[in-house]
Amino acid sequence: MSGFFGNIAKTDVVFPVFYGTDYHSHLGTKRAGMAFYNKKTGFQRAIHSLEDGYFRTKFEDDLKHFEGNSGVGVISDTEAQPLVTNSHLGKFAIATVSKIVNAEELEKEFLDGHRTFSETSQGSVNPTELIAMLIAEGHDFVSGIENVFSKIKGSCSILILTENEIIAARDKLGRTPVVIGKNGNGIAVASESCSFANLDYEIDKYIGPGEIVRITADGVVQLRAPEKEMQVCAFLWVYYGYPPSYYEGINVDEVRYRCGAALANNDDVEADFVAGIPDSGVGHAMGYSNERQIPLTRPYAKYTPTWPRSFMPQTQDKRDLVAKMKLIPNPALIKNKSGVFLDDSIVRGTQLKDNTRDLHAEGIKEVHMRIACPPLTYPCEFLNFSRSRKSIELATHTAINQLKGTEEVDLKKYSDPESEEYKEMVERIRKNLGLTSLKFQKLNDLVNAIGLPKEKLCTHCWDKSSHFKK
């Protein structure tokens, strides 16, 4: 997904940008970067890979070289960022949370005009460089960002650090969040509001869809009013967001408790314990356990001393090893017991299948799986959503394929929990994963747990209801 953090204040911001960016580490595993501006040395920038180390470790040595009263940082799931660009608008550093579906088409247009690209991301154009070039086509930053809004298919939230200010823009349909924090000394801006508390910032404002603001140490000025339409990603609450964060004023962990409670209210299975798959299912499990008053336990203990979450090895072999090694089963809590297990979602289901097999090997009696959202049926086209694979890899499509010998079916039926097709598919997934029982959340219950009107939420991966902006 990626996430960014910016800060501009009356005092040096290297420390808060370092920690504020670090608090977005759950959003990306590829690259991270920070840029600062100060009058003496101009723009300073560092980018490191996160593929073989953690953000704080990687940037610790850079800190002593940095200074500035303004800066931005980014944890990126894809390209190297932030870029420092020179343009007729002046020099600026730019970080984005974006997905550009029509990147190749835009690239071709630029190349045809004898333009060059300097940055690449895994062999393709670097989306942030493309966005910077689109911005430089404007006569000022606002018209440049509007150029981005109108040219790209996908989504794009932007932080720009100039010599004088930070300019923040939220995706035109608000798919990804941008939140403003304030204290007496300056202004912070972030993807995740959980980054504010320990830096002594308080949430001041949720930037609206398509809204553009100019931020200085003294305050925030609106440069473009928000759009009415919004399509904020529902998965932010279900999985991506860190528990203490808020989007649109709604707290992440509370949504998870409500998700778990909703599942509990539709459930009557008997069990000795409730447990969340670490870490993605823990909040949901707390909600379920509290609602049904079945004891919460830890049949799988995550070995947190050395397995922090944001570690993503390059090969599948290594990923499987990490998946296995970081969770330690506790036979005392498993043997001859029945358990309800909660998780946020099922993507491919391979890891869940392995876990279930291990639980049976440890002597569990029953494994009842409860999933906090409906079955994932349509790959995301709007966000850089690492969990959203090609449709063929989804557990739902695998099941449909097994049942029908093809994926070319009327998927709508499979999204309707009352249909026979849905039931057949869920039953097949249950069997594939070796579960005693399996239930998914209903979309309506999920929308209620979040608490926004359905039309404000993007629920595309479950019901194919969203669209590119006009």
Span 223-242, contacts to a copy of itself by CB under 8 A? 242
Q: Does 315 participate in binding a copy of itself (rule CB under 8 A)?
A: no
Spatial contact of 318 and 349, defined as CB atoms under 8 Å apart: no
Give 18-72 as a DSSP string.
HHHHHTTGGG-SSEEEEEEEETTTEEEEEEEESTTS-HHHHHHHHHTT---SEEE
The two structure tokens encoding residue 285:
């499990």
Span 341-380, contacts to a copy of itself by CB under 8 A? 362
Query: Which stretch, 98-106, 127-135, 231-239, 344-352, contacts a copy of itself (CB under 8 A)?
Result: 127-135
Query: Which stretch, 124-132, 210-218, 228-236, 367-375, contacts a copy of itself (CB under 8 A)?
Result: 124-132
Q: Does 19 participate in binding a copy of itself (rule CB under 8 A)?
A: yes
**Shortest approach of a copy of itself to residue 428 CB, angstroms?**
30
How far apart CA 425 and CA 401 sit, in angstroms, is: 10
Query: Which stretch, 1-9, 35-43, 149-157, 452-460, contacts a copy of itself (CB under 8 A)?
Result: 35-43
Spatial contact of 97 and 21, defined as CB atoms under 8 Å apart: no
Q: Is residue 295 reached through a cis peptide bond, with omega within 30 degrees of 0 on the bond before it?
A: no
Q: Binder to a copy of itself among 43, 141, 414, 440 (CB under 8 A)?
A: 43
Q: Which residues contact 60 (CB under 8 A, 6 or more apart)?
A: none
If we measure between CA atoms, which residue out of 190, 245, 172 comes closest to residue 6?
Answer: 190
191 is in an annotated binding site: no
Q: Binder to a copy of itself among 11, 150, 198, 222 (CB under 8 A)?
A: 198
Q: Does 205 participate in binding a copy of itself (rule CB under 8 A)?
A: no
**Shortest approach of a copy of itself to residue 124 CB, angstroms?**
9
**Shortest approach of a copy of itself to residue 374 CB, angstroms?**
25
Q: Binder to a copy of itself among 11, 330, 402, 444 (CB under 8 A)?
A: 330
419 is in an annotated binding site: no
Q: Binder to a copy of itself among 10, 150, 331, 467 (CB under 8 A)?
A: 331
In the complex with a copy of itself, the residue whose CB is nearer, 341 or 440, is 341
**Shortest approach of a copy of itself to residue 227 CB, angstroms?**
26
87 is in an annotated binding site: no
**Shortest approach of a copy of itself to residue 180 CB, angstroms?**
16
Residue 296 DSSP symbol: B
How far apart CA 240 and CA 1 sit, in angstroms, is: 8
Residue 178 sits at the vertex; the CA angle it makes with 86 and 457, to the nearest 5 degrees, is: 130
Q: Binder to a copy of itself among 4, 23, 149, 440 (CB under 8 A)?
A: 23
Number of neighbouring beta carbons within 10 Å of residue 48: 18
Residue 111 DSSP symbol: H
259 is in an annotated binding site: no
User: Taking the chain, what is the end-to-end CA distance rounded to the nearest angstrom?
Assistant: 23
Q: Does 123 participate in binding a copy of itself (rule CB under 8 A)?
A: yes
Spatial contact of 427 and 439, defined as CB atoms under 8 Å apart: no
Spatial contact of 8 and 290, defined as CB atoms under 8 Å apart: no
Q: In what order do the strands lie in the sheet with 338-343?
A: 273-276, 338-343, 366-371, 437-440
Query: Which stretch, 3-11, 248-256, 418-426, 432-440, contacts a copy of itself (CB under 8 A)?
Result: 248-256
Span 69-108, contacts to a copy of itself by CB under 8 A? 83-88, 107
Q: Binder to a copy of itself among 12, 56, 216, 468 (CB under 8 A)?
A: 56
Span 295-314, contacts to a copy of itself by CB under 8 A? 295-298, 301, 303-310
Q: Binder to a copy of itself among 226, 313, 329, 379 (CB under 8 A)?
A: 329
140 is in an annotated binding site: no
233 is in an annotated binding site: yes
CA-to-CA separations, 162 to 94, 180, 225, 406, in angstroms, rounded: 9, 18, 21, 53
What is the CA 371 to chain-centroid distance, rounded? 18
**Shortest approach of a copy of itself to residue 451 CB, angstroms?**
12
Q: Does 111 participate in binding a copy of itself (rule CB under 8 A)?
A: yes
In the complex with a copy of itself, the residue whose CB is nearer, 310 or 401, is 310
- Determine the size of the site formed for a copy of itself (CB under 8 A): 76
What is the three-class DSSP state of 104?
helix
Biggest alpha carbon–alpha carbon distance for the chain = 70
Spatial contact of 59 and 18, defined as CB atoms under 8 Å apart: yes
How far apart CA 75 and CA 310 sit, in angstroms, is: 11
Q: Does 387 participate in binding a copy of itself (rule CB under 8 A)?
A: no
Query: Which stretch, 112-120, 375-383, 412-420, 439-447, contacts a copy of itself (CB under 8 A)?
Result: 112-120
Q: Does 335 participate in binding a copy of itself (rule CB under 8 A)?
A: no
Q: Does 162 participate in binding a copy of itself (rule CB under 8 A)?
A: no
**Shortest approach of a copy of itself to residue 234 CB, angstroms?**
18
Annotated binding site for Mg(2+): 280, 343-344
